[in-house]
A and B are shown apart, each in its own frame.
Chain A
Amino acid sequence: MTVKKITKADFTDLIEKVIASQKVYAPQAKGDKYDFAPLTSAGDMKLDYDVTLQPPKKYFIPPVETLLTFEVGGGYQSQFDEEKFVLLGVHPYDMVAINQIDKLFSDGHFDNHYMNRRTNATIIALDVVNASKNVFASEIGTATVKQGYDLLLTDIGDAYIAEAATEKGAALLAGANAADATDDDLAKKQKVQSDNELSLSKHLLKCPASDLPKLLEKAYDHPVWEEQAETCFACGSCNQVCPTCYCFNVQDDVNWDMKTGERKRAWDGCMLDGFTKCAPDHEFRKNRADRFRHRLFRKGKYVPYKLGGEIACVGCGRCVGACLPDIANPVNVYNRLFDDLGNG
């Protein structure tokens, strides 16, 4: 594994070179916030961003994508995106989310539409420089990340420490004007990471995250679901901005010629009305409270059950800011449950 020190100016030069040969997506300013977008000039990347509006999942599961093309009354043809790209500046909590979805999309039935994009990507992860208002990754254990990326950057003030974890990462780094990292540099990197492991905690969870599945086991009939969901709009924003939400819908679009068309997959959300509706007169989770509970059970119990205990909320805090009635914060709900049921 190669670890290099690279000045910020040299890193900008490197990215300028990469842009010339590959598509690069990076966090950039959007009003007074940040979001991932195609990078046309390295000077536009904002690597000290706090959090992006949308998680980078859109590069692997686009809001709408074509799975197949078809002829009406005839055959179907798989469609795949062939473009190779660099995804730059992924914070550790978002990297953990990508690692989780990798597992869920490759285990059992292998989703090669997702996995193909995943292998086409070179991911440059980035340790957090500025904590966002609602981040609680330290509480979940996702403030730093050890795998999934090709390259990991850590800002140590005047330079980045760049750790290549894969051949793709090493090849990218080889194009840079960079020096070997010294012990002193590594110590600085370590310091940034251990600080983050404590400081990305704007909402404090009252129990260890690993206890959530057990806590939820007792919480199915707790009044908190009804109480919180009373003001829920079922808008699905908490699903949309969540890096670990990946539910989707599939539908056909016929082209103008009425002979050919595309089968598309589009984001869906378990909080939306009709998500479980299977006949005109039957919807399984019709009540908002049931859906509210489902989302938080999915994060804290159902998905962890599939992932060997890993909690499927990575503490990015996006849903906290995205929810108008301010009820989506998982920490508040889990803490309330812990207060009532924690020691029972």
Chain B
Amino acid sequence: MCECCTTKKDIYLPQLATIEKMRLMNDTEMYFRFNMDDGPMDFIPGQFVEVSVAGVGEAPFTISSSPTQKDGIEMVVRRIGNVSKALHNLKTGDKIGIRGPLGEGVYPVEEVKGKDIVFICGGIGLVPQRSFINYVLDNRDDYGHVTILLGTKCHNQRFFQSELEQWTTRDDIHFLETIDEAHDCWNGNVGVVTTLLPKIESELASSEIMVCGPPIMYKFVLMALAEDNVPHDQIYLNLERKMKCGVGKCGHCQINNYYACVDGPVFKYSDLGIAPEAI
């Protein structure tokens, strides 16, 4: 092979990792903690990895743990496609392939230091946000007021429940939760996540807002934030797309001009310019 090709690593070649822990968190969400076989991997909240199950394929998953946590890397896999189903069928000690960390559009970990932050999470959107949330909690003094809004469809789809309990009791964050559909076992807020926004209306315009949720959610959140005149350069959108290569080549994740895999997955709203496909 030519020299320039041998000296550069193969961008499609996964590295092996070992599953340390697996736990089903509800009907569809499986928690994973894994360690890279060749030593720890550095990453920034918002980055993702391409996970391989040899023989089944590869799929992208955002890292859910904070880089401050030294004991392995966590992710949450919803049973939805071939790769995620195969992942659910693995067991502790099994090997998976990992490419990453990927994504150059990450959470503004440095940029928003000293500022107030609002996290708006819809359902599985909690997974990537949790990486930054835990990072903030581990460096609590570096950031201002922290508010977390979480909306989940049904009561029994909630996950990371014990962590959510802890957030409720902490007095250095403001945690509000809602579920879309009323249920006997639930005596909290009912309604979609945007129904929580009026409760923190006064904070919004002066906060940095991190948004992640199902595709349908973004439009409603952005409409609500527009009503409160939140400047676009204070809004960060974590955009999920179909990804194959994860390195800006295959074209699957393209959002108008942008590639979710390299330019994102986290985008500052004001940087997106005219990208109607974003929401």
Which residues of A pack against B, CB within 8 Å?
Answer: 67-68, 70-76, 78, 80, 82, 104-105, 108-113, 115-116, 119-120, 217, 220, 246-252, 254, 261, 263, 265, 268, 270, 275-280, 282, 284-285, 290, 294, 297-298, 301-302, 305
Contacts and interface: CB of A to CB of B under 8 A. Distances in A.
B56 A252 contact: yes
Chain A, interface SS category: mixed
B5 A119 contact: yes
Given A73-B95, A250-B57, A115 B240 contact: no
Contact of A302 (B13, B52, B254): B254
Given A108-B248, A108-B262, A115-B5, A305 B257 contact: yes
B10 A78 contact: yes
Contacts of A70: 52, 54-55, 97
A277 B59 CA distance: 13
Given A73-B54, A76-B14, A116 B2 contact: yes
Contacts of B252: 247, 249, 268, 275-276
A285 B245 CA distance: 19
B188 interface: no
9 contacts: A109-B11, A111-B11, A248-B245, A250-B57, A275-B242, A275-B251, A280-B80, A282-B215, A297-B256
Contacts of A263: 12, 52, 57-58
A108 B247 contact: yes
Contacts of A109: 11, 247-249, 262
Given A76-B97, A301-B257, A305-B257, A112 B5 contact: yes
Given A72-B54, A254-B55, A305-B257, A277 B5 contact: no
Chain B, interface SS category: loop
B39 interface: no
Contacts of A250: 12, 57-58, 244-245, 250
A69 to B, nearest CB: 10
B199 interface: no
A261 B2 contact: no
Contacts of A80: 1, 5
Given A80-B1, A119-B4, A72 B55 contact: yes
Interface in B222-279: 240-242, 244-245, 247-252, 254-257, 262, 274, 276-277
